[in-house]
Amino acid sequence: MTALLRRLPGSICSLWRCRAVTHNRTSHLIPRDGARLLPACSGSLTGYSRGQSRWQHTEAGGPVEVDLKRLEGEDDGIVEVLMCRHKARNALGHVFVSQMRELVSTLSNDSAVRVVVFRSLVPGVFCAGADLKERALMNNSESDLFVHGLRSLMTQIASLPTPTVAAMDGVALGGGLELALACDLRTAARSAQMGLIETTRGLLPGAGGSQRLPRTVGITLAKELIFTGRRVGGQTALEMGLVNRAVDQNQTGDAAYREALSLAREILPQAPIAVRMAKEAMNKGVEVDISSAMAIERMCYARVIPTRDRQEGMAAFIEKRAPWYAGE
Q: Give the tens place of pLDDT for each residue, 259-274.
A: 999 999 999 999 999 9
Which residues, in sequence order, are CB contacts of 158 under 8 Å at separation 6+? 182, 183, 208, 212, 283
Do 282 and 253 belong to one domain?
Answer: no
Do 170 and 301 belong to one domain?
Answer: no
Does the annotation mark 175 as catalytic?
A: yes
Q: Report whether pLDDT(220) > 50.
A: yes
Q: Which of 40, 130, 188, 271 is catalytic?
A: 130
Boundary (domain end) residue, out of 224, 240, 267: 267
Q: Is residue 160 in some structural domain? A: yes
Q: Give the tens place of pLDDT for each residue, 140-175.
A: 998 899 899 999 999 999 999 999 999 999 999 999
Predicted local confidence at residue 52, as pLDDT: 52
Q: Is residue 187 in some structural domain? A: yes
Do 219 and 301 belong to one domain?
Answer: no
Do 232 and 281 belong to one domain?
Answer: no
Q: Give the tens place of pLDDT for each residue, 105-134.
A: 999 999 999 999 999 999 999 999 888 788
Q: Helix, strand, or coil here: 29? A: strand
Predicted local confidence at residue 56, as pLDDT: 41
Predicted local confidence at residue 136, as pLDDT: 83
Q: Which of 61, 170, 174, 175 is catalytic?
A: 175
Does the annotation mark 73 as catalytic?
A: no
Do 257 and 301 belong to one domain?
Answer: no
Q: How many angstroms separate the Cα of 41 from the Cα of each of 87, 163, 196, 253?
A: 12, 24, 27, 17
Which residues, in sequence order, are CB contacts of 173 under 8 Å at separation 6+? 127, 128, 129, 193, 194, 195, 196, 197, 231
Predicted local confidence at residue 17, as pLDDT: 39
Do 186 and 308 belong to one domain?
Answer: no
Predicted local confidence at residue 41, as pLDDT: 61
Boundary (domain end) residue, out of 252, 267, 282: 267
Q: Is residue 325 in some structural domain? A: no
Q: Is residue 327 in some structural domain? A: no
- Which CATH number do you get for residue 298? 1.10.12.10
pLDDT above 70: percentage of residues in the chain: 81
Q: Is residue 7 in some structural domain? A: yes
Do 32 and 125 belong to one domain?
Answer: yes
Predicted local confidence at residue 36, as pLDDT: 33
CA atoms of 79 and 262, how far apart (whole Å): 13
Does the annotation mark 80 as catalytic?
A: no
Do 166 and 297 belong to one domain?
Answer: no
Do 103 and 145 belong to one domain?
Answer: yes
8 A C-beta contact, residue 19 and residue 12: no
Q: How far is CA 248 from the centre of its chain?
A: 22
What is the tally of structural domains in the chain? 2
CA atoms of 20 and 220, how far apart (whole Å): 44
8 A C-beta contact, residue 60 and residue 35: no
User: What strand order describes the sheet that includes 232-233?
Assistant: 125-127, 171-173, 193-195, 232-233
Predicted local confidence at residue 11, as pLDDT: 39
8 A C-beta contact, residue 77 and residue 127: no
> CA 222, 227, 229, 233 torsion: positive or negative?
negative
Q: Report whether pLDDT(9) > 60.
A: no
Q: Give the tens place of pLDDT for each residue, 41-85.
A: 644 333 333 455 544 443 346 789 999 999 999 999 999 999 999
Q: Helix, strand, or coil here: 38? A: coil
Q: Which of 40, 178, 246, 271 is catalytic?
A: 178
**Average pLDDT over the chain, rounded to an integer:** 85
Predicted local confidence at residue 175, as pLDDT: 95
CA atoms of 34 and 30, how far apart (whole Å): 6
101 backbone φψ class: left, alpha, beta (φ>0; ψ -120 to 50): alpha
CA atoms of 251 and 34, how far apart (whole Å): 31
- The residue type of 9 is P
Do 170 and 305 belong to one domain?
Answer: no
Q: Helix, strand, or coil here: 142? A: helix
Q: Which domain does 176 fall in, by range?
A: 2-267
Q: Which of 80, 134, 198, 259 is catalytic?
A: 198
8 A C-beta contact, residue 280 and residue 300: yes
User: What strand order describes the sheet that includes 66-70?
Assistant: 52-53, 66-70, 78-83, 115-120, 164-168, 185-189, 245-247
Do 288 and 198 belong to one domain?
Answer: no
Do 137 and 279 belong to one domain?
Answer: no
Does the annotation mark 74 as catalytic?
A: no
